[in-house]
Structure 1
Amino acid sequence: MLRLTDLPRPEPGPGQVRVRLTARPINPSDLLFVQGSYGREARFTPRPDGGTRESGWAVAGFEGAGTVDTLGPGTRGPAPGTRVAVSATGTWQEHICVPGTSVIPVEHGVSTEAVCQLTVNPFTAHLLVRDLALEPGATLLLTAGASAVSRMVIHLASGRGVRCLPVVRHREQAHALTRLGARPLTAGSAGALTEAVRDTVECGQVDAVLDAVGGALGDAALRSLRPAGRFVSYGMLSGRPLSVRPDDLVFRQVSVCGFWLPARMERLDEKELGVLTGEVQEAVARGLPGLEVAERYDLADFRTALERTGRPGRAGKVLLTG
């Protein structure tokens, strides 16, 4: 259960910086964390009076934007006053203390709305496109085709000559994706998706799938793969499981794998991380699609923000500000 509470202002320890946060997006991963369905359990801070685990607190939020206001002892980090993107658990609060390596200094020309979304979706999109390494002319099917990550992937993959087929439920969503260079497929059901792929792709099969939905739609996307095609699951918006048949794996030689950003980032060495961070910062500074903002709410109005996040048809993220 989420609730608003007053906490003592944290003091940074050795190697840490304290950031005064001003904006945070509400991402699907945040909602999973709040529901207790995320890949990592919440770390509860016990009450000073020694209360039970349930009476302590854990702060939600995995990214945000703000300004460094204090350095911990011996910290070599961004100087106080530096605008930064923050990648850490617990950003839905006013102040947060994190290792100096968990913040990314940003240029003043980049909006706070874009900065607060820098560390999750743009990194995810870049790594998904990099890991797939599709050749020009290949076809890529994306469920949740109007999502922020999909729009970013379409922008990056189309630039490499990949033919992107984002799946949307409403024709209104298709127009913006067409302007990004995609060929949207309007499909409100698994059967409609299968038919749409057959009508759009000459052989009726695609080279790769990025699935953020699961359930029946994910199953239909998996069936649309060509032999030896690649299926990557990176989300679970439907809350339903995938059905992977042995004959897909054995006879059709389809490969199925999952993508989780924290685990993927852990496999990057320092040099690779530096190069990737530079690429992401450059893309965001140039106006990477998928960073649009629909609505802004103060932290104290988090209930309204969460309710608005759950409504379909949004044209951007809902942010928590203040």
Structure 2
Amino acid sequence: MRVRVTARPVNPSDLLFVQGRYGRRARFATDPEAPDGQRGRDARGGPDGGAPAGAPGFEGAGVVDALGPGTSGPPPGTRVAVAADGTWRSYVCAPAAAVLPVSERMPLDVACQLTVNPFTARLLLDDLGLRDGGTVLLTAGASAVSRMVAWLARRRGVRCFAAVRRAEHVPALERGGAVPLLTGTENDLADRVRQATDGRGADAALDSVGGAVGGAALRCVRPGGRFVSYGMLSGRPLSVPPEALIFRRVRVRGFWLPERLERLERQGTAAVRRLTDEVGAEVAAGLPGLEVAARYDLDAYALALEHATRPGRTGKVLLTG
């Protein structure tokens, strides 16, 4: 089906895609390998669903514009969230399974953020399998995903330690159920986690930063604990000392939402539908991390990218129109 997209977030994965560092190769209208007729086209694409090859964007929201021959799904005019490649354009074509009808009560500013961060937070926490009384350390503790994880974890009796470097983030984290760890250096983080866990260390760490911060978070995990890398905000490689694997037996792995969802899909449509319904209910119940910092017209994507990379930003930057 074809969706007229009117709102799209600027996510870290979009920035990686633009930089050519994402798990899928970026190809733009200036790419000499782009198919004929795709070069030099307007970023908005056209009602045929066309756009520059490799247009950024993995999620958005809008209304169903048309159904293909024999396609079943929400009728034209239905408000939807869509998970598809290339949502930074006015029209996108997607299979019915990638289009989620949304309530009239849900603003499109929220709906356009529905299919990436909320699912990431939920599946990260599910995969850790922590029980009541467990502990998890979050790097980039004020990020949308970290705030979502902390909110979900509190409902399960799991304590989240959210590492931040700006005091202004502390009140919102406390309201969301996290224990803020205000740190100035990577060594500060290890000291704070030891104090918060009576010297035991965290049961797990979820790292979206990499580099020195990720390495410090790895040192905070207790022997036999788990470390999950799911982001590359620092742009720096993560160092994993052999002693962490050999002597402390920390289990280290990566998380990539598309791959994780593919594994879920192999369990059948019922498993996907159950997760989708539960995530939708969590959003409706007040899941944090969906606030909006600014809106830019789609043609002003360069300004939106600049805003999305500003230090200390709170809330999501959206592309609209």
Query: d(CA) in 1 for partners of 2:203 and 2:110?
Result: 32
Contact 2:59 2:84 in 1 (8 A): yes
1:94 to 90, 93, 98: 90
- Residue 94 of structure 2 aligns to a residue whose secondary structure is strand
Deviation at 1:49, TM superposition (A): 8.8
Structure 2 residue identity aligned to 1:92: W
Query: d(CA) in 2 for partners of 1:213 and 1:50?
Result: 35
2:68 to 51, 72, 75: 72
Matched with 1:82 is 78
Structure 2 residue identity aligned to 1:29: S
Structure 2 residue identity aligned to 1:81: G
Matched with 2:319 is 320
Matched with 2:206 is 210
Identity %: 61
Matched with 2:170 is 174
Matched with 1:267 is 263
Structure 2 residue identity aligned to 1:215: G
Query: d(CA) in 2 for partners of 1:201 and 1:245?
Result: 23
Query: d(CA) in 2 for partners of 1:127 and 1:49?
Result: 36
**Correspondence list, 1:3-14, <5 A:** none
Matched with 1:58 is 54
Query: d(CA) in 2 for partners of 1:220 and 1:49?
Result: 45
Gaps of 5+ in 1: 1-16
Matched with 1:40 is 24
**Correspondence list, 1:298-313, <5 A:** 298-313=297-312
Query: d(CA) in 1 for partners of 2:175 and 2:260?
Result: 30
Deviation at 1:136, TM superposition (A): 0.9
Deviation at 1:32, TM superposition (A): 0.3
Contact 2:38 2:53 in 1 (8 A): no
Alpha-carbon RMSD across the aligned residues, in angstroms, is: 1.5
Cα–Cα, structure 1 residues 250 and 295, in superposed 2: closer, same or farther, change >3 Å? same
Matched with 1:127 is 123
Cα–Cα, structure 1 residues 147 and 50, in superposed 2: closer, same or farther, change >3 Å? closer
Matched with 2:106 is 110
Structure 2 residue identity aligned to 1:30: D
Matched with 2:290 is 291
- TM-score under structure 2 normalisation? 0.91
**Correspondence list, 1:227-266, <5 A:** 227-266=223-262
Matched with 1:279 is 278
The answer on 1:27 being equivalent to 2:11 is yes
Deviation at 1:314, TM superposition (A): 1.6
Query: d(CA) in 2 for partners of 1:200 and 1:50?
Result: 55
Alignment deviations for residues 5-50 of structure 1 (CA, whole Å, 9 cap, x no partner):
xxxxxxxxxxxx1101110000000000000000111356512399
Query: d(CA) in 1 for partners of 2:39 and 2:251?
Result: 50
Matched with 2:181 is 185
Query: d(CA) in 1 for partners of 2:38 and 2:259?
Result: 36
Matched with 2:45 is none
Return 142-151 or 302-311, whichever deviates more: 302-311
Return 158-167 or 306-315, whichever deviates more: 306-315
Deviation at 1:144, TM superposition (A): 0.6
The answer on 1:152 being equivalent to 2:148 is yes
Alignment deviations for residues 231-279 of structure 1 (CA, whole Å, 9 cap, x no partner):
0000010111111122211121110010000000000121111100001
Return 142-151 or 277-286, whichever deviates more: 277-286
Deviation at 1:204, TM superposition (A): 4.4
Query: d(CA) in 1 for partners of 2:177 and 2:283?
Result: 19
Gaps of 5+ in 2: 29-33, 41-51
Alignment deviations for residues 55-91 of structure 1 (CA, whole Å, 9 cap, x no partner):
x632110100000010000001111111110101100
Deviation at 1:198, TM superposition (A): 2.2
- TM-score under structure 1 normalisation? 0.91
Query: d(CA) in 2 for partners of 1:283 and 1:132?
Result: 19
Alignment deviations for residues 180-209 of structure 1 (CA, whole Å, 9 cap, x no partner):
121100113211111211222212411100
Query: d(CA) in 2 for partners of 1:131 and 1:177?
Result: 23
Aligned length, in residue pairs: 302
Matched with 2:139 is 143
Query: d(CA) in 1 for partners of 2:247 and 2:149?
Result: 30
- Residue 184 of structure 1 aligns to a residue whose secondary structure is strand
Query: d(CA) in 2 for partners of 1:163 and 1:280?
Result: 20
